[in-house]
Amino acid sequence: MFGLILFFWAALHISQSVIDLADFLLILMALKMAYQSGDLRSLWRSFKFPLLWPIWLGVVALGFVFGAPTDASTALKLVWEFRWFVSFLCFIYLFQKVEWNEKQQRSFAVVLLAISILDLILFFVDYDKDPRAGGLFHHSMPFAHTMGPSALLLLFLGIKKALDKGEKPLWRAVYFVAPVLGSVMVVLSFTRGIWIGFVAALLVCTALLGKRVFLTSMAALVIAGAVLFAGSSRIQTRVMGKTNAESQSNNERMLYWKANLQIFRDYPLVGIGYSQNNVHVEEYLKKDGIDWLGGAHAHNQYIHFLAGTGILGLACFLSFLGLIFYPVFKKLLAWRSAGKTNDHYYLLMGAFAAMLCFVIGALTESNFSIAKNRFVFLFIAAIAYALSTSPAAKSSKK
């Protein structure tokens, strides 16, 4: 079973078609295991409030009924996207049966290290075509929203292992280099939204680890940021937005936000139709005398749901996030207060940081609506949820 999970972990960094294949195989495995156990309901109940899914689907359906006219085939295709909830349930069901032992942790680190090395090579090979790291996706935006959470997932565990003198030198190096190199690739993506999410997640999680760790991390981030800012004119440009291209990008994002908020005002309850704000945003821009900008989505996941599915749809999304974050945060506090800070604790902390990075990055990108990025979040969130709720995830002093 874990071999297939490891395949999915690698697939997340390769392509959407490979992700879909791995997803299909994991779903089949979960269904087979649940059927053989004679309790398919346990799969459905792996998430605390699975009824959120049909409720959310109901809101989406109402959006197509009361929003802008949408042909039936398009509506069904968009509703079909919500099959991701089945994947999420299957992930949790399987991950609750994983021990997350030393061998499995090492496997995750090796895969991340191999992927990060390949991404670095591709960055230099493709530099003349695109000076922003895009990995095997060959696109910096989805790459950054995948690699940022992936690096954070193993960062805390990696640092803990690197400082463990009882660990073999080779594995200390692998554990440390894998997430650090992944973090470097996030920097080289030159994607500001994920930079903000990454730094914010680090600060929040180091604060949970204690004042000394927080202050040390703050100092390290300030020094690293100052060095990068002083040593790279491109980073200065991305941060300050000095060029015409940067200024235009910022202005266009604001225009998309404004247009989608206008859509929400016209369709406040259930929206204009899930993802149909992408279709109708042009007409709203033209109402303000703005020519078509050539984009589509809202460049903000929360505004994207607000325009497409209304206040009820956004409430479903936020409820989904809350139902994941609350037990994870609660478990982190419980383990820390009990002094049970072993490998599982640092893995859970990394997953919590990864999720924070993703939801903060969603303020500048509709990342959950991009399938490859959505799967990254679901995969890491399922690990966090499983560690927080599974009896198998016992934490003990080490």
Whether 397 is in a domain gets the answer: no
Q: How far is CA 257 from CA 260, 287, 296, 318, in A?
A: 5, 14, 11, 19
At 395 the pLDDT is: 43
Question: 245 pLDDT exceeds 80?
Answer: no
Whether 166 is in a domain gets the answer: yes
Give the N- to C-terminal CA distance of the chain in Å, as an integer. Answer: 27
At 205 the pLDDT is: 93
- Name which of 324, 311, 302, 338 is nearest 389 in CA terms: 324
| C-alpha atoms less than 13 angstroms from C-alpha of 270 in its C-beta half-sphere | 15
CA-to-CA distance for 10 and 4, rounded, in angstroms?
Answer: 10
Lowest-confidence segment of 157-171, 186-200, 361-375 by average pLDDT: 157-171
Whether 369 is in a domain gets the answer: yes
What is the arithmetic mean of pLDDT over 58-72?
92
Mean pLDDT across the chain, nearest whole number? 89
Whether 235 is in a domain gets the answer: no
For the full predicted model, state whether its pTM sits above 0.85.
Answer: yes
Confidence of residue 375 (pLDDT cuts 50, 70, 90): very high
Provide the domain count of the chain: 1
Question: 397 pLDDT exceeds 80?
Answer: no
Whether 121 is in a domain gets the answer: yes
Q: The tokens 């440390």 sit on which residue?
A: 176
**Joined tokens for residue 43:** 């799969």
What is the arithmetic mean of pLDDT over 319-345?
91
Question: 369 pLDDT exceeds 90?
Answer: yes
Which residue range forms the structural domain that includes residue 182?
Answer: 50-73+98-209+300-389
Whether 25 is in a domain gets the answer: no
Confidence of residue 295 (pLDDT cuts 50, 70, 90): low
Whether 330 is in a domain gets the answer: yes
Confidence of residue 24 (pLDDT cuts 50, 70, 90): very high
Whether 267 is in a domain gets the answer: no
